Amino acid sequence: MGDIKKRWYVVRAVSGKEKKVKEYLELEITRLKLNDYVSQVLIPTEKVFQIRNGKKVSKERAYLPGYVLIEAALVGEVTHVIKSIPNVIGFLGTEKGGDPVPMRMSEVNRILGKVDELSETEEEMKIPFVIGESVKVIDGPFNNFSGVIDEINEEKKKLKVMVKIFGRKNLLELSYMQVEKEI
């Protein structure tokens, strides 16, 4: 067969169904013995942290919702097989019904690099708060109290929140995980 040149393509999927699309794709590829043409199916994910029942829980979330990356050689019926998978909208391309456009290697490396980086630096969180913003305490002895952010310490991932307790203002030091934005 020789060496088959594979490129990376973006498959558009129904948002929230990326894992199903990946499973179906892998099953179909194996069933139709297309492993020579399709080498990888990836869903770029990031780790996000939430507090559930007072515990810090990490959860993986697609950071490109609705997209699945696939490394493949689109020859013969490979394109048709991919498009016929349930929840697949089609390939990301230039025009509707046109040929799928492969990704530039720089884009692929950036996305794959970001995936690796996100799995390694799972403790690294974005600073989701700004000074002066209203927050609600969701954990600890001051649970359900509301306050205003006075100071943010990025290194320690802590906030100083001004909370009114019994009519008096008090400054509390809380971690990012102990508060949520007030809606």
Can you read off the two tokens belonging to residue 134? 């209203």
Per-residue pLDDT averaged across 178-183, rounded? 85
- For residue 53 the two structure tokens come to 């029942």
Q: Which domains does the chain have, with CATH numbers?
A: 7-120 (3.30.70.940), 134-181 (2.30.30.30)
Confidence of residue 58 (pLDDT cuts 50, 70, 90): confident
Residue-wise pLDDT for 59-104, tens only, equals: 888 888 899 999 999 988 898 899 999 999 989 876 766 778 899 8
Q: What is the reported pTM?
A: 0.61
Helix or strand (DSSP H, E) at 114: helix 105-120
Cβ count within 10 A of residue 170: 13
How far is 23 from 18, CA to CA, in rounded Å? Answer: 9
Residue entry with tokens 């391309």: 93
Using CA atoms, how far apart are residues 79 and 11, in angstroms rounded to an integer? 10
The C-alpha atoms of residue 125 and residue 93 are separated, in whole angstroms, by 33
DSSP 8-state secondary structure symbol assigned to residue 87: T
The pLDDT value given to residue 2: 53
Contact 129, 147 (CB under 8 A): no
- Conformational region of residue 136, where left means phi above 0, alpha means psi within -120 to 50, and beta covers everything else: beta
Distance between CA atoms of 115 and 67, rounded to whole angstroms?
14
**35 vs 106: CA distance, rounded Å:** 25
Tally: H helices and E strands in the chain? 3, 11
